[in-house]
Each structure stands twice: as C-alpha cells, then as structure tokens.
C-alpha cells in the first residue's frame, strides 16, 4: 500500500471507530495464548501449559477488569471508553466474545489434549471407571488424608449460605433425610491444601483396560464426591454438582487516610482473602435449574455472570502436570549463557563465588546490555548486586523492588550488604497486584536488618526497575547503575524476555540519584538529563519524539520511522499522535504482546502502521522504543508501556541507549522480531489477529525460511558462548 505523506482531509482522530476496546483486545491476546495450546508443533505438556495459562489469565481478568467494569456500573459512571462503549455495553461485549473462547478451551482439552495425554500414558481417569482395587486405595486415601480437612456446610434456616472464597472449587450437594423425605442443600469445599489431581501408586497406575500408565490418577473433587456418604452419614445422597466462583479482588485503599501504608495494605489483604462481590460463577451444563438458581441467588450474580463449562472446572490446575519427569513431552530445557564480553574477563562458576573477574571494571570499560532469558540473570544482575554487597569499596546500594521471588536471592544480597555495613535503601512497592503479601514479608525482613525501606509515593505505584551502586574509587565517588525492563526476580527472568543496561555514565547516575531522592524524600524533580521518568516527563518526551518524526518527515524527503515493542498500547493520546504520524508518512512498526487499542491499516488514518504480537515459549516483556531521527537514531529501553497508568499513575524509568554498539544490538533484536513468521500474529483492521504462517499458502511458505525469533535469539546466545 502506498505510503502517502499528504493529509488532504480533516479527520477527527478521536472518533471511537478508530479505537479497539481494551478489554476485548485483551481477550484477543488470551485467544492467542489458547491458540498456542492448539499448536501441533509444540510438545504436549507445553500445549497443556498454555491451556492452564489461558485459565489463570481469565481468573485475573475477572478479578480485576470485569470487577472494575461492574464497579463502574454500580457507581453509575457515565464516561465512555475511547471506543465509545458504556461499562454495561463492555460487560455485554466481553460476555459475548468470551463464551465461545471458553467453550473452545474446554472442548479442545476434552476432545484433543486429553486423548493425546492418554496416548502419552498420562491418564486423568474418571472415578466411575476405576476398578475395585483402585477404588479401595482411594477410599483409604480419602479416609486418612482428605476426610479430616473437609467441612460440610449445611444450608437451611439455621445455617445461612456460607461464604464461598475466591477461586474456590466446591460441590453443591443435595441430600434427602430418609425419615422426613425432605431434600436438603449443602456445600463442600474442595481443599486447596491437597493436590487437584490425586495420583495412583505405581502398582495401581493402569487404565480401565489394564494398560500400564506412566501416570494415572483422578480429580480430587471426584474422590470427594464418591465418598460423600462419609460426610453425611444417615442421609441419602441425591446429587452433587461442582461449581467455582471468582470474586472482585482489587484493593480498595484510601492512601490519604493511611498513616501506615504497610499496615493498611495488610488489612486490605485480609479483606481480599474473604473476597469482594462475586463476578463469575462457573458450573457444568448438567447442573439442574434449581441448583443453578439457588447459587445465583445466594451469590448475587446475574445470567451474564454464569459460565457453563463442559468437563473439569478450573483448568489452571493442569499446570501441575508440568512437574512430571517426562522431558520428551516438554521443550528442551534452556540454560542461559554469560554475555560474550563478560565471558572473556573471568570465571563464572557461580554468582556467589569469588573470582578474578571485576564486574565494575567491565562496566567502566563500556556500557553492558543484557537480554534475558538468553543472557544469564544470575551471572549479571544478581552477580552485580552480590558483588556490591561484599565489595569493601561499595558505600551504598539503592534499588526499587516491584516483584521478586519468594526465596529472593536479591533480597538476601541486600540483607548481606546491610550486615556488611553498607547503606542500603530499597523502595518496596507494596501495591504490586497479587504480590502484596510477598512484598510485605520482604519489607519487614529488610527493615529488621537496618535497610532503609520506603513504600513509594502517595497515589503512585513504583514500577521502575533500577539499581544504583555507590562506590569509593580512590579520591572519587563513582555510581554504577542498572536500568531494566523486567522485575528483579530470578525465576521470571528465566521465562520472560527482558533487557537491562549497566552503565556508570555520569548523566545517567545523576538522573538516578535524582529519581531516588524523588522516591524517598520530598524532591519534586521536574527535569532529567537522560531519563524519561513517569509521571514527570515521560508522556511529554514520548509525544515529542513521535512529533519530531512527523516534523522531519514533512520537512525532508526522508520518511520517518518508529519501531516500538511493549506489552500494551492503550493510551488514547499516544494512539492519536501515532495516527498523526502515519498520516504524515511516518512508517511505524509496533510489537505489542497484549492489549492494543490502536486500529492499524485504516486508509487515510493508519495505513502506515503495522502491529504484530509475539506469543511463544517465553513471555515477551521487554520494552524497546526506536526513533529514526533522520538517521541519527535514538533507541530507549525501560519499564513503561504506552498505557495511561504507566505514563500518569506510576513511577517509571526509560533510558536512552547511547553506546552505538549496544544500539545496533537493540536494532538487530527489533529487526529479528519483526521478521518472525512462526510466532507472530498480525493485527487486522477489524481487530482480529492472523498468524503470519497461516496466511501463506503451502507454495509461499516453502519459499520463505521459517523465522522463529525466540529460537534465533537462543541460537545466537549459544553461538556467542561457543556452544553451537
């Protein structure tokens, strides 16, 4: 399609028709996740993993996004979304789009994945198909391990309907009193403290046909259901029906009224465990109308909140099968490598062992760029912090923690640094959704050893990923920094793609000093030398970078170019400005993993904008922003997506990458990602996504070599380490 630089028509770029709904766009992302489960080229347990992720993603979507829409309805909020929908209309659209996706997931599991598991000698058996020996084993297991933790709850005039906890799987049980012939209702919660799928012992692991199995077992709820007589002795069990609920789990925190933020969040977490209003009820189609209506009435949900799922409920539990010792059914394990420049400088037996390698000298020599999970997190980021904690010349360490692992070596290194007499200041973000409890634990641990712990700014989440190490070097002080796109979490660093920059440039170090003073003191810094910092200057600087491409394109014969990689793009002002850039002839490629409210390839509006999404083995999490600037390219990495919350309601940091060698590395990463024709999905102007490989005929596909960006990055890493 020709790339016109003319803008002959005045068009209202804020018109709702030019924006996709963010909630529906997120559902399209989760649909792409589901499609990975359908990828016949992937190992079986990896496909099962994507089915589980689809369910877990939906749980959070209901707990947060659907709950927020329901709150808007209750509050009678009249503001329309950028695509022109009310909250009621959005809820209706979500329901209409989601139901066929959920039906597809359950049908695919039952009709395709489950038979494939059977062929692979993994048998999820139904209790009714067990032989007597297997039933006897499970009955004994029930009596010894399950029965003691169960609490059957009657529902009658003397026993009100019990509170049902968030994401709990339950049995609605109907029993009959043989003396009065009265039917009674009860609820049994399926305990989370036990495995969702109960394995049979090796000697009993075989199918109903007697075929030996590598793994065989039954769902926990079926083992309970077939032993209900033990819970209701003397009663006649009439019927039982599983159900599962999802509750509003947003923290309702009035920070202005909270004298102690940590204590206030602990109180809110206690409320979350109880849960807010019910936003989803999952049942099976065979649930009779009487039970369905009773659950709806007691849980106060409407028809739009009820989802009928054929087969097992709560498929997120399928993730447990990834622990089976069956490597032939999984991706080949990936072992991250040491960045090539560091390999030449010393030994890396362990990030915790002494060696002749001087990390600080390497950073002084040249800025260092790391690309996780292809580059080792433990031998770079963790090594940096560990070395700083032990180095006698290090005076202080400052960092932000948004999410970290439950057994965090990062936190342990900070504790060691404090115990070694260094000044350690850590901003722990207590409002990191669903990690609040973990972060409270680490905050208290850090405080107990004398670390200066702060909890951020009132009304803002601190989402930036930054570390600064202050070091005495002779008669001068030098500051070393790490600015990243991902959390300081060694576990997710093996699963998420992220970038990080190490530097000791004075301008960056001075900016980070100002940023930490902004976070810990009363500084209200309004300008930064290099960093784009939200909510201070990031929005204005980002818009200025886009508008510079517009101006340069209009005033020269060189078309502007923007390439941006992020998780989500939903900010209306950014989108409108990108439309203006497209109309001016700027060529724009966007790599947006998740939500994208921008409508590409609309004639006269966005024909110069292409959007792809990469969904693969690793979760694409890095944020990279490239601007052509008439050949004087500028490229940035950092923590922020182009979302209103990132630009206005969070503390974020994005850094320019000035080293020309590292800038070229980032450009190569963007180029390889844009060329992906295996994992890339192209966003169409109607809001649907088309997988690139599927769009080619067999003849066309044979003419193009397969380009799987994540596999290429793995191969490049192995080659750089001399392992391929």
Catalytic positions are: 463
Asked whether 535 and 460 are in contact (CB, 8 A), the reply is yes
Helices vs strands, H then E, count in the chain: 22, 27
Give the other-Cβ count within 10 Å of 667's Cβ: 16
Which residue reads 């390497």 in tokens?
Answer: 362
471 to each of 18, 239, 411, 413, 519, how far by Cα in Å? Answer: 52, 70, 20, 16, 21
How many angstroms separate the CA atoms of 477 and 506, rounded? Answer: 11
- Cβ neighbourhood burial of 258 (10 Å; 0-12, 13-18, 19+): middle
How many angstroms separate the CA atoms of 487 and 712, rounded? Answer: 24
DSSP secondary structure letter of residue 254? -
Question: 648 CB contacts (<8 Å, ≥6 apart)?
Answer: 534, 535, 539
Question: 594 CB contacts (<8 Å, ≥6 apart)?
Answer: 25, 26, 29, 567, 568, 613
DSSP secondary structure letter of residue 458? T
SS3 letters across 400-414: EECCCCCCCHHHHHH
Give the other-Cβ count within 10 Å of 221's Cβ: 21
Name the 3-class secondary structure at 123. strand
| CA-angle at 578, arms to 575 and 583, nearest 5° | 130
Name the 3-class secondary structure at 522. coil
How many angstroms separate the CA atoms of 500 and 719, rounded? Answer: 21
Report residue 110: phi and psi, to 5°.
-70, -40
Name the 3-class secondary structure at 171. strand
Task: List the structure tokens of 554.
Answer: 């209009």
How many angstroms separate the CA atoms of 134 and 141, rounded? Answer: 11
Question: 43 CB contacts (<8 Å, ≥6 apart)?
Answer: 328, 329, 330, 331
Q: Within the chain, what is the greatest distance between any pair of CA atoms?
A: 92
Report residue 77: phi and psi, to 5°.
-70, 125
Question: 136 CB contacts (<8 Å, ≥6 apart)?
Answer: none
Region of 337 on the Ramachandran plot (φ > 0 left; ψ -120 to 50 alpha; else beta): beta
| 164-189 b/e (C-beta count within 10 Å ≥ 16 → b) | bebbbbbbbbbbbeeeeeeebbbbbb
């Amino acid at each position: 399609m020709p790339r016109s630089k003319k803008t002959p028509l005045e068009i209202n770029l804020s018109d709702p028709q030019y924006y996709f709904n963010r909630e529906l766009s997120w559902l399209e992302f989760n649909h792409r996740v589901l499609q990975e489960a359908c990828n016949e080229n992937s190992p079986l347990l990896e496909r099962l993993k994507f089915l589980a992720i689809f369910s877990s993603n939906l749980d959070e979507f209901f707990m947060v996004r659907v709950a927020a829409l329901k709150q808007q309805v209750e509050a009678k909020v009249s503001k329309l979304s950028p695509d022109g929908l009310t909250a009621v209309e959005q809820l209706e659209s979500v329901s209409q789009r989601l139901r066929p996706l959920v039906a597809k997931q359950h049908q695919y599991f039952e009709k395709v994945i489950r038979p494939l598991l059977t062929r692979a000698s993994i048998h999820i058996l139904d209790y009714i198909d067990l032989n007597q020996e297997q039933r006897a084993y499970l009955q004994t297991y029930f009596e010894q391990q399950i029965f003691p933790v169960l609490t059957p709850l009657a529902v009658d005039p003397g026993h009100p309907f019990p509170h049902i906890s968030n994401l709990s799987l339950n049995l609605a049980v109907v029993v009959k009193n043989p003396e009065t012939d009265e039917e009674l209702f009860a609820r049994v919660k399926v305990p989370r403290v036990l495995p969702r799928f109960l394995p049979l012992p090796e000697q009993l692991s075989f199918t109903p046909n007697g075929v030996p199995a590598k793994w065989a077992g039954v769902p926990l709820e079926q083992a309970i259901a077939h032993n209900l007589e033990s819970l209701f002795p003397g009663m006649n069990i009439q019927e039982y029906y599983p159900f599962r609920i999802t509750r509003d789990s947003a923290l309702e925190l009035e920070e202005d009224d909270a004298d102690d933020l940590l204590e206030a969040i602990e109180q809110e977490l206690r409320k979350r465990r109880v849960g807010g209003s019910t936003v989803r009820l999952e049942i099976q189609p065979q649930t009779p109308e009487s039970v369905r209506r009773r659950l709806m009435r007691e849980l106060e949900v409407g028809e739009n909140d009820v989802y009928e799922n054929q087969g097992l409920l709560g498929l997120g539990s399928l993730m447990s099968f990834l622990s089976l010792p069956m490597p032939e059914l999984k991706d080949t394990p990936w072992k991250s490598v040491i960045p090539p420049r560091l390999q030449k400088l010393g030994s890396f037996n362990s990030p915790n062992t002494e060696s002749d390698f001087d990390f600080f000298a390497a950073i002084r020599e040249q800025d260092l760029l790391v690309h996780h999970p292809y580059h080792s997190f433990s031998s770079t980021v963790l090594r940096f912090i560990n070395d700083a904690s032990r180095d006698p010349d290090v005076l202080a360490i400052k960092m932000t923690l948004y999410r970290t692992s439950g057994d965090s070596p990062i936190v342990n290194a900070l504790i060691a640094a404090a115990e070694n007499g260094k000044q350690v200041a850590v901003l722990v973000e207590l409002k990191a959704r669903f990690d609040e409890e973990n972060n409270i634990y680490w905050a208290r641990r850090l405080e107990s050893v004398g670390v200066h712990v702060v909890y951020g700014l009132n009304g803002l989440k601190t989402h930036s990923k930054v570390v600064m190490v202050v070091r005495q070097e002779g008669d001068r002080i030098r500051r070393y920094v790490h600015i990243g796109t991902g959390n300081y979490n060694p576990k997710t660093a093996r699963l998420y793609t992220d970038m990080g920059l190490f530097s000791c440039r004075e301008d960056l170090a001075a900016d980070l000093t100002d940023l930490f003073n902004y976070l810990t003191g009363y500084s209200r810094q309004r300008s930064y030398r290099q960093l784009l910092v939200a909510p201070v200057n990031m929005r204005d600087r980002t818009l200025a970078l886009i508008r510079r491409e517009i101006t340069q394109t209009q005033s020269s014969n060189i078309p502007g170019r923007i390439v941006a990689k992020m998780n989500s793009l939903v900010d209306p002002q950014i989108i409108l400005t990108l439309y203006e850039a497209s109309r001016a002839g700027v060529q724009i490629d966007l790599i947006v993993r998740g939500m994208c409210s921008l409508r590409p390839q609309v004639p006269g509006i966005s024909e110069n904008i292409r959007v792809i999404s990469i969904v693969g083995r690793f979760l694409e999490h890095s944020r990279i922003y490239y601007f052509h600037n008439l050949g004087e390219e500028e490229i940035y990495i950092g923590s922020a997506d182009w979302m209103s919350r990132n630009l206005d309601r969070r503390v974020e940091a994005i850094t320019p990458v000035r080293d020309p060698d590292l800038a070229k590395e980032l450009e190569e990463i963007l180029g390889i990602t844009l060329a992906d024709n295996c994992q890339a999905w192209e966003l169409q102007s109607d809001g649907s996504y088309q997988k690139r490989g599927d769009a080619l005929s067999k003849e066309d596909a044979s003419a193009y070599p397969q380009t799987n960006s994540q596999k290429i990055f793995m191969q490049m890493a192995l080659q750089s380490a001399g392992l391929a």
